[in-house]
Structure 1
Amino acid sequence: MSAVILQVGQCGNQLGLEWCELLCKTSKQVAHRSPFITKEDTLAVVCVDSESKVLKRAHRLVKNKKLLESNVVQGKGGRGNNWAYGYHGPRGAEGDKLLHGAMEAVRREAEKRDYYGGTVMVHGVSGGTGSGLGSRLCEEIRAEYPVSHLLSVSVVPHQSGESPLQHYNTLLSLDALHRCCDGILLFHNDHALSGVHQNKAVCTSGLSSGVSQDTLSFMNRHIVSCMAGLLFPVNSLTTASGLSLGMEPWELIRSVCPMPSAKLLSITQASSREKQKWDRLAGLTLQSVPQLSPAGKSYTSRAVLAVARGDQDKSFATSRALYKLKRGHRCVAWNPFPIDHWTDPCNEMTGSSSGAAQLLTVCSNHSSVTSLLDHTLRRSKEKMDVRAYLHWYERYGVETQDFQQAMDTLLNVMEEYDAQ
């Protein structure tokens, strides 16, 4: 199959291991079609963290022969919620050990493939390992495999309250991701918390039942549900003979990233346990889509992908859902084909053998991402103006000009979205 999952840091592994457990519970038919499961029935997953405590669940997968032990790469100390420390690591041999081990694990998985399409990296952008080491791994993978795809699943922190360094870390991480990745699936913690309340039925079905039902767990399940909605195999991308090529992650990039200068993607989702009209589910996904900027300017979408699961009667394409989504996302006029759709008669997320439940996942290259970029830039500049915490980054080789370069990158992205 075509993809390797790379999970980096505490956030990335919490989400990624939830994703792994979901993959292990899918039917044999879906597992056979999935780009994330090998011919040997093991997970094409590499787990990386600078501390061992988060990887205990990974070792359980190793014990159950679902994950190779060599694909669990762990260090002996954290990265202090510091992008610079995560990126450069400690001085000496220990600094390169985690990076080298992760790249070797990715290489081994890539070389097993008949066709290696690329890597999907799951991480957070506010901590030290996920943001700093994640950025370094993106650069190394891009240099090592220049023609393969690189898609990131990046979790953005709450606007305030998580860490005094979170805005610096987010700034530097988004800069690296924009330079190296082909597409960036952004999940905001604030939005995920809202999505939990709006779509609780999806979060509690078909996922690991052993995790306590606290808020963080629900948020993780919501994000994993959205990932599965987009990246699970779909019937409409199989060949005429029924062969699945596992191209969903890369077709996603081609569908919603028509220009490489703007590739920050937003995801919404709606579901129903009973038969519903698809345009009603489309309307539910639009409820959380921002329409106007703080300045009163209308947001727009460069491209939209809708993935309908549970489309047994093939009614999605003939419904008003696509028209409703095109209007609701205000698709740009210059893109002649701004909306794409995939369908599958089953919905594996419900665990229902009949596939009767419906799930609609919508991915949009939406200009409302400029609000996140503006907030990150503003808060970072406020701290830089008084040189707050900069010495923590300078200690590991990150200078003021590195922050300025990252700011210029994000400003250029904002201008690109505002110009559409």
Structure 2
Amino acid sequence: MTQSIVVQVGQCGNQIGCRFWDLALREHATVNKHGTYDESLSSFFRNVDSRFDDPANIPLDRGTGKIKSLKARAVLVDMEEGVVSEMMKGPLREVFDFKQLLTDVSGAGNNWAVGHKMYGSQYREHLSDIIRRAAEFCDCLQCFFILHSMGGGTGSGVGTFILNLLEDEYPDVYRFVTAVYPSVDDDVITSPYNSVLAMRELTEKADCVLPIENQALVSLVNKINQAIPPTKTGKRMYSSVGGDVKAGSAITASDGSVVKPANEKPFDTMNNIVANLLLNMTSSARFEGSLNVDLNEITMNLVPFPRLHYLVSSQSPLFTLSDVSLPPRRLDQMFSDAFSKDYQLLKTDPKHSLYLACALMVRGNVEVSDVRRNIERLKPNLKFIHWNTEGWKTGLCSVPPVGQSYSLLTLANNTCIHNNFTELKDRFVKLYKRKAHVHHYTHVDGMEMSDFAQSLESLNSIIQEYSDLEKQMFNPPLPEPRLQVVT
């Protein structure tokens, strides 16, 4: 059995990570009725005996032993200690290993250079040590998941520094990045700088990137809330991911109540959507299935060119894990929804662009024949590149999300993403042509003006490569002439 390590960086990365671990534990609890430490748990958790000071000396009794104390295979990093400190005092505090976290107090000031150049260099050895500690507890380390935002300083700067560190020290371990991009109206004025500077590192160092936009998450949250019917009192009942909560539901708000609390953080619902993306993507690594997809198969099947590894994601139903009192989506409707622009985690519509490849990761009691039928139904409306017209990868995991009969996650390598990157580039150029706020970056040791130019050039090249491929949708290359043999 392979293991994966989740590296949570910055406020956004740690909040998403916290939701992922909470929901993952709930999923495992519904399946693992006897409290056994089994193969599925070992993929993201390790079993320790809390009676000993050093759990590294305790042999893991996998498959037959009872759960002693679960520790998440997680590394927590933030240059502001607030979020991590809150997590270490919260209900999941026993799940995190305090020897695998790193915090500072001053923060990165929404500056990629401070995070990447200053804090990265300052904490390189410490970061290397805590990651090595997490890796040494793995029998067969397969993947690192890095969770961070792109608009701030710690997530973008330290997050991409860690990505470089992982490539240097664990070159054979896959590096998956879940990167949350800022909205157009983001309140951090330098977020376009941070995003573009970070993107150069993602393009060169990551194996696979799942870009997610705050704007799209806000739209999804609004869509969830609009679908929830009001109660007889006219009030809506919420879980932590939005939804009309059933009586006795195991999935409640973050403080354990059912009615949405006044102190519920505004990003909780958005973080849950991203956490569910990670749950669905890793379901095959955590549970059995008739057609499981290994994580390395995602890059093998969806990334035909090394640099073009940005995947557009969507999932249906949106109410996953909220246990809402709404009728379940019909199976065929679930597939239609996942290819609709309203269910994408980016503000984009892949239907009008070119697919290089697409993965369907299905959970629950769904047959291969159901998936094939829906592929055949959807294919006429989707355009695949001429050299990969059958570029579908299918995964079936038998364990559905809590409170649902089945769910679907789609991961698509689609040329539509160049539109999102072009919009980001335009916001970057608007600032950069006036050299606005550049001095805040160049005063950091190791940061040069050339970093801006090279990052913009890298982004332009990605936009161009996706755009050139999209042109083949309208002007496919002519087939090679067949040679006639004259006898």
Name the TM-score, length of structure 1 as normaliser.
0.87
**Residue 292 to residue 149, structure 1, CA distance change in 2 (3 Å):** closer
Amino acid at match of 1:16: G
1:135 aligns with one of 148, 160, 170: 160
Name the SS for the 1:334 alignment partner. helix
Partner of 2:74: 45
Name the SS for the 2:407 alignment partner. strand
Partner of 2:85: 56
Amino acid at match of 1:101: H
1:233 aligns with one of 284, 291, 294: 284
The within-5 A match list for 1:116-131 is 116-131=141-156
2:458 aligns with one of 384, 409, 414: 409
**Residue 216 to residue 192, structure 1, CA distance change in 2 (3 Å):** same
Structure 1 residue 257 and structure 2 residue 311: aligned?
no
Name the SS for the 1:114 alignment partner. coil
Q: 2: CA distance between counterparts of 1:15 and 1:403?
A: 29
Uncovered stretches (5+) of structure 1, i.e. residues with no partner: 351-355
Q: Whose radius of gyration is greater, 1 or 2?
A: 2
Structure 1 residue 282 and structure 2 residue 363: aligned?
no
Q: 2: CA distance between counterparts of 1:45 and 1:376?
A: 31
User: Could you tell me how far 1:261 is from its partner in structure 2?
Assistant: 2.2
User: Could you tell me how far 1:160 is from its partner in structure 2?
Assistant: 2.3
Structure 1 residue 266 and structure 2 residue 312: aligned?
yes
Q: Deviations along 1:301-327, whole A, 9 cap, x unmatched?
A: 21111111122555533432x234544
**Residue 169 to residue 325, structure 1, CA distance change in 2 (3 Å):** farther
Q: 1: CA distance between counterparts of 2:185 and 2:316?
A: 28
Contact 1:43 1:66 (C-alpha < 8 Å) held by counterparts = yes
Q: Relative to structure 2, which stretch is displaced further, 56-65 or 154-163? A: 56-65
Partner of 1:418: 467
Structure 1 residue 375 and structure 2 residue 423: aligned?
yes
Partner of 2:172: 147
Q: Deviations along 1:2-27, whole A, 9 cap, x unmatched?
A: 21100000111111111111122222
Contact 1:204 1:221 (C-alpha < 8 Å) held by counterparts = no
Partner of 2:258: none
Name the SS for the 1:80 alignment partner. coil
Contact 1:261 1:416 (C-alpha < 8 Å) held by counterparts = no
Q: Relative to structure 2, which stretch is displaced further, 114-123 or 271-280? A: 271-280
User: Could you tell me how far 1:386 is from its partner in structure 2?
Assistant: 1.1
Q: 1: CA distance between counterparts of 2:117 and 2:419?
A: 30
Structure 1 residue 170 and structure 2 residue 170: aligned?
no
Q: Relative to structure 2, which stretch is displaced further, 227-236 or 180-189? A: 227-236
Amino acid at match of 2:295: P
Name the SS for the 2:71 alignment partner. coil
The within-5 A match list for 1:334-353 is 334-350=387-403
Q: 2: CA distance between counterparts of 1:230 and 1:164?
A: 33
User: Could you tell me how far 1:398 is from its partner in structure 2?
Assistant: 2.2
**Residue 8 to residue 64, structure 1, CA distance change in 2 (3 Å):** closer
Q: Relative to structure 2, which stretch is displaced further, 63-72 or 168-177? A: 63-72
Q: 2: CA distance between counterparts of 1:79 and 1:235?
A: 35
1:224 aligns with one of 275, 283, 305: 275
Contact 1:21 1:207 (C-alpha < 8 Å) held by counterparts = no
Amino acid at match of 2:4: A
The within-5 A match list for 1:209-220 is 209-210=253-254, 212=261, 213=264, 215-220=266-271
The within-5 A match list for 1:5-44 is 5-28=6-29, 29=31, 32-34=39-41, 35-40=43-48, 41-44=70-73
**Residue 237 to residue 185, structure 1, CA distance change in 2 (3 Å):** farther
Name the SS for the 1:264 alignment partner. coil
Name the TM-score, length of structure 2 as normaliser.
0.75
Q: Deviations along 1:143-173, whole A, 9 cap, x unmatched?
A: 1111111010000011123211000000001
Q: Deviations along 1:265-291, whole A, 9 cap, x unmatched?
A: 111111276565432111112221644
Q: 2: CA distance between counterparts of 1:285 and 1:162?
A: 30
- Equivalent pairs: percent with the same residue? 20
Q: Deviations along 1:123-142, whole A, 9 cap, x unmatched?
A: 00110000011111111110
Contact 2:117 2:447 (C-alpha < 8 Å) held by counterparts = no
Partner of 2:35: none
Q: Deviations along 1:347-391, whole A, 9 cap, x unmatched?
A: 1342xxxxx522111111121211221112222122221111110
Q: 1: CA distance between counterparts of 2:86 and 2:296?
A: 28
User: Could you tell me how far 1:259 is from its partner in structure 2?
Assistant: 1.9
Q: Deviations along 1:318-348, whole A, 9 cap, x unmatched?
A: 432x234544442222125411111123313
Q: Relative to structure 2, which stretch is displaced further, 103-112 or 31-40? A: 31-40
Q: Relative to structure 2, which stretch is displaced further, 378-387 or 133-142? A: 378-387
**Residue 391 to residue 189, structure 1, CA distance change in 2 (3 Å):** same
Partner of 2:129: 104
Contact 1:257 1:263 (C-alpha < 8 Å) held by counterparts = yes
Q: 2: CA distance between counterparts of 1:174 and 1:384?
A: 16
**Residue 236 to residue 71, structure 1, CA distance change in 2 (3 Å):** closer
User: Could you tell me how far 1:233 is from its partner in structure 2?
Assistant: 2.7
Q: 1: CA distance between counterparts of 2:128 and 2:295?
A: 21
Contact 1:225 1:349 (C-alpha < 8 Å) held by counterparts = no
